[in-house]
Amino acid sequence: MIAIIIFILIIIGFNLIPRLTKKRFPKTEKLIERLLIYITITFLILIVLSFNGIKLKGIYSNSIVGLIFILTSILYFAINKNTTQKIISIVVLIPLILCSFYFQFCYENLGRYKVNDDADIVVSREGFLACGEIIRLTTSKFIIFDKELIYDSNECLRGIYKVETVKFNKKKAEFLIYHNGELDSENPFNYEIENKNVW
């Protein structure tokens, strides 16, 4: 709760900057406004896609988009003149900024391990309460996206540093997952997935 109050006070502080300086930069305001609209739409599309198991490829791609969105929002608060439109946009932006902060600090891609030409194992850390790291089997979609085929958060493995493919066919997949051995003494961990019309 204290963090949310501090966050709201920071937003109010940034919005007071145009009142204190009393200088206007119409061209800069318009540019930042347009940039904010484009990055907000991009960020919203990425959120909707992520709920459907589709994410941008790359370890830092989603984080970079989220960071650009936060920085553009802050610039918008600090430079643009306070109007009714700005107040409405602040109400809309605050939940999105909080969502972006969550993705920045609670979601982290830790590694990508090739299974074959079409599929990869992606390891990530999500949230504070997760037992271990999240294991995803993904395939390439629309060149720049990964489509999630399998999502597994039940294995309680931490410190995954290597994944070897033992078997990958139409019936099942088998992997050896090397980890730090903190929560599971079986190292490498024998991980099997049965294909139930997933790939």
Q: Take residue 133 and report the two structure tokens written for it.
A: 């790291």
pLDDT value at position 39? 94
Please provide the average confidence, as pLDDT, over all residues in the chain: 84
Q: Take residue 106 and report the two structure tokens written for it.
A: 């609670």
Q: Is the pLDDT of residue 55 over 60?
A: yes
pLDDT value at position 15? 67
pLDDT value at position 68? 92
Q: Please tell me which residue, 25 or 191, carries the higher pLDDT value.
A: 191
Q: Please tell me which residue, 15 or 26, carries the higher pLDDT value.
A: 26
pLDDT tens per residue across span 165-189? 988 888 888 999 998 877 767 788 8
Q: What is the mean pLDDT of residues 70-90?
A: 84
Distance CA 43, CA 49 (A): 10
Q: Is the pLDDT of residue 122 over 60?
A: yes
- Looking only at the bridges linking them, the beta strands covering 119-126 and 134-141 are antiparallel
Q: Is the pLDDT of residue 1 over 60?
A: no
**pTM summary value:** 0.76
